[in-house]
Amino acid sequence: MLKVGIIGKTNAGKTTFFNAVTMLNAEISNYPFTTKTPTYGVGYLKTACVCRELGVKDTPKNSTCIDGWRFIPVEVIDLPGLIKGASEGAGLGIQFISIAAQADVLLHVVDASGSIDSNGKICEPGLGSPLADYYDIEEEIIKWYTKNLVENAEKVSRLIDAKSMPLGKALFEILSGIKVTEKNIADALSRTKLSGVEFGEWEDEDFRAFASEIRYLSKPTIIVANKMDMPVSERNFKGLQDTFGEAFVVPVSADVELVLRRAEKLGLISYIPGEEIFKIKDASMLSAKQKWALDYVRGRMLDKWLRTGVDLAMSAAIFKLMRMNVIYPVEDAKKYSDSKGNVLPDAYMLPHGSTPLDLAKAVHTHLADGFLYAIDATSGFRLPNDYTLRDRDVISIVTARKKPKA
Ligand SMILES: Nc1nc2c(ncn2[C@@H]2O[C@H](COP(=O)(O)OP(=O)(O)OP(=O)(O)O)[C@@H](O)[C@H]2O)c(=O)[nH]1
Ligand SMILES: [Mg+2]
């Protein structure tokens, strides 16, 4: 399962975002460092299901389909908050960054309303600076990556000297555990122009420059501009977009999404995460407080920003930054089903550029070991083995091996 890590300054709203995505009830409060250990949960990524265009009623197994929307599970990790100086032990320190480093993609949550001061304490809205917060936290993360590299420098040297390993391979040996690819390393070496420098000659600033490139190349990151339900947030949001580009900053109100998901769970409204609207089932069932909360949701967030942004942030991270495609493997290409007759049972996320063999490997080793070719189930055509899978492809893999008994 893909892993999404939620990082950011204390009090930015990470746990609120996490609870909204996973509907768990981890502790939320306006005290700094409420979250003391990482929390793991399962969130869902929303994508238009192929069932509608194929005109079939699906029976999903590894995911869920609601009203033609496929929800695919991803692991979400809520991390304790950071503050400036964390690498010198401020707040809870940087001990949990290693867990963020295990994620495939990161959501960096900032308080766009500027309601937290530089120490992470709640202050008058507008006084805090989300831009400064972002840089403070990124600085701590880069320091962690640098420290990790420096601590392993001797090991890298040994691999180069004793095993005659090329620099890139030796670095890969120590960095692969934090989801760094050989390509990330090659790109970082080339961007820093360190490929031509003897590793033994690397200066402190070389380690830092390389670590910084590795952090951004290996861990694509969306900036979640949270607390957009507060009017004061708009100015900071524009500043964030101007600095980092529209594609990387998503306007969000985690709190509003949480209100909607809770109301939906209580049966008060019908709401599909990510939608621009919700419907009140029976207005006479609402207490005055609930009515006020739903009016707030509409007035402060949906009417202005069209959606709460929680779902959009997840999609932007996985579909736009990671360039994942959703593929539906089926056994029976005519019925779009598995051997038990479940229609469109599974939805797999594979990176852009994946081939039918990559899909086979993701589904089961027996499919990969005996892989012969793949069929595009919607057209019935046999696909070339170097075919590049596209989003929403429905694929049947033909294999020489029998499926092992479950
Ligand atoms: N107005 C508004 N407040 C929010 C939003 N999201 C979170 N908050 C509030 O911000 C405060 C901090 O929220 P948390 O989710 O506990 O923040 P955190 O980042 O997990 O904090 P730590 O665990 O201490 O690092 C709480 O008072 C939340 O109710 C939002 O979208 N809008
Ligand atoms: Mg928290």
Query: Which of 199, 215, 231 is where one domain is finished?
Result: 215
Output the residue whose Cα is nearest ligand 1's atom 13.
13
pLDDT at residue 62, rounded to an integer: 93
Give the model confidence (pLDDT) of 157-166 as tens digits.
999 998 889 9
Q: Please give the tally of structural domains in the chain.
A: 2
Q: What is the mean pLDDT of residues 225-244?
A: 96
Give a yes or no: residue 311 inside a domain.
no
Establish whether residue 229 lines the binding site of ligand 1, counting it when its CB lies within 6 angstroms of any ligand atom. Answer: yes
pLDDT at residue 275, rounded to an integer: 86
Looking at the chain, the whole-number percentage of residues with pLDDT higher than 70 is: 98
Give the CATH number of the domain where residue 351 resides. Answer: 3.10.20.30
Q: What residues form DSSP beta bridges with 3?
A: 75
Q: In this model, does residue 30 exceed pLDDT 80?
A: no
Q: What is the mean pLDDT of residues 245-259?
A: 95
Establish whether residue 39 lines the binding site of ligand 1, counting it when its CB lies within 6 angstroms of any ligand atom. Answer: no
What are the structure tokens assigned to 312, written together? Answer: 């959009």
Instruction: For ligand 1, pick from 39, 236, 255 the residue to mutate: most ligand atoms within 8 Å of CB.
Output: 255
Give a yes or no: residue 129 inside a domain.
no
How high is the mean pLDDT of the chain?
93
Q: In this model, does residue 14 exceed pLDDT 90?
A: yes
Output the residue whose Cα is nearest ligand 1's atom 2.
227
- Pairing mode, strands 64-66 and 69-78: antiparallel
Q: How far is the CA of 8 from the centre of ligand 1 (A)?
A: 11
Q: What is the mean pLDDT of residues 374-383?
A: 96
Give the model confidence (pLDDT) of 305-362 as tens digits.
999 999 999 999 999 999 999 999 999 999 999 999 999 999 999 999 999 999 999 9
Quote the CA–CA distance of 334 and 161 in Å, as a whole number: 57
Q: In this model, does residue 70 exceed pLDDT 70?
A: yes
Query: Which of 195, 215, 235 is where one domain is finished?
Result: 215
Give a yes or no: residue 172 inside a domain.
yes
Q: How far is the CA of 128 from the centre of ligand 1 (A)?
A: 14
Establish whether residue 10 lines the binding site of ligand 1, counting it when its CB lies within 6 angstroms of any ligand atom. Answer: yes
Instruction: For ligand 1, pick from 19, 28, 37, 123 the residue to mutate: most ligand atoms within 8 Å of CB.
Output: 28
Output the residue whose Cα is nearest ligand 1's atom 21.
11
pLDDT at residue 96, rounded to an integer: 87
Q: In this model, does residue 56 exceed pLDDT 90?
A: yes
Query: For ligand 2, a single-atom ion, which residues have Cβ within 5 Å?
Result: 14-15, 34-35
pLDDT at residue 405, rounded to an integer: 64
Helices 288-296/254-265 angle, 10° precision: 140
Establish whether residue 362 lines the binding site of ligand 1, counting it when its CB lies within 6 angstroms of any ligand atom. Answer: no
Give a yes or no: residue 197 inside a domain.
yes
Sign of CA dihedral 217, 218, 219, 222: positive
Q: In this model, does residue 386 exceed pLDDT 80?
A: yes
Q: Which domain holds residue 173?
A: 147-215
Residues 6+ apart with CB under 8 A from 134: 108, 110, 223, 240
Strongest mean pLDDT among 33-37, 107-111, 301-305: 107-111
Establish whether residue 16 lines the binding site of ligand 1, counting it when its CB lies within 6 angstroms of any ligand atom. Answer: yes
Q: In this model, does residue 190 exceed pLDDT 70?
A: yes
Establish whether residue 63 lines the binding site of ligand 1, counting it when its CB lies within 6 angstroms of any ligand atom. Answer: no
Q: Which of the pair, 30 or 286, is modelled with greater confidence?
A: 286
Give a yes or no: residue 350 inside a domain.
yes
Establish whether residue 37 lines the binding site of ligand 1, counting it when its CB lies within 6 angstroms of any ligand atom. Answer: no
Give a yes or no: residue 237 inside a domain.
no
- pLDDT band at residue 279 using 50, 70 and 90 as cut-offs: very high
Quote the CA–CA distance of 272 and 279 in Å, as a whole number: 10
What are the structure tokens assigned to 283, written together? Answer: 């207005």
- pLDDT band at residue 406 using 50, 70 and 90 as cut-offs: low
Give a yes or no: residue 134 inside a domain.
no
Establish whether residue 11 lines the binding site of ligand 1, counting it when its CB lies within 6 angstroms of any ligand atom. Answer: yes
pLDDT at residue 337, rounded to an integer: 96
Q: What is the mean pLDDT of residues 184-205?
A: 95
Establish whether residue 226 lines the binding site of ligand 1, counting it when its CB lies within 6 angstroms of any ligand atom. Answer: yes
Give a yes or no: residue 229 inside a domain.
no
Query: Which of 158, 193, 215 is where one domain is finished?
Result: 215
Quote the CA–CA distance of 126 and 93 in Å, as a whole number: 26
Q: In this model, does residue 28 exceed pLDDT 80?
A: no
Give the model confidence (pLDDT) of 169-180 as tens digits.
999 999 999 999
Ligand nearest to the CA of 81: 1
Quote the CA–CA distance of 294 and 38 in Å, as a whole number: 31
Instruction: For ligand 1, pick from 6, 9, 10, 11 the residue to mutate: most ligand atoms within 8 Å of CB.
Output: 11
pLDDT at residue 278, rounded to an integer: 94
> Poorest-confidence range of 42-51, 89-98, 303-312?
89-98
Ligand nearest to the CA of 119: 1
pLDDT at residue 218, rounded to an integer: 95
> Poorest-confidence range of 20-24, 100-104, 216-220?
20-24
Q: What residues form DSSP beta bridges with 75?
A: 3, 42
Quote the CA–CA distance of 373 and 370 in Å, as a whole number: 9
> Poorest-confidence range of 39-43, 48-52, 118-122, 395-399?
118-122
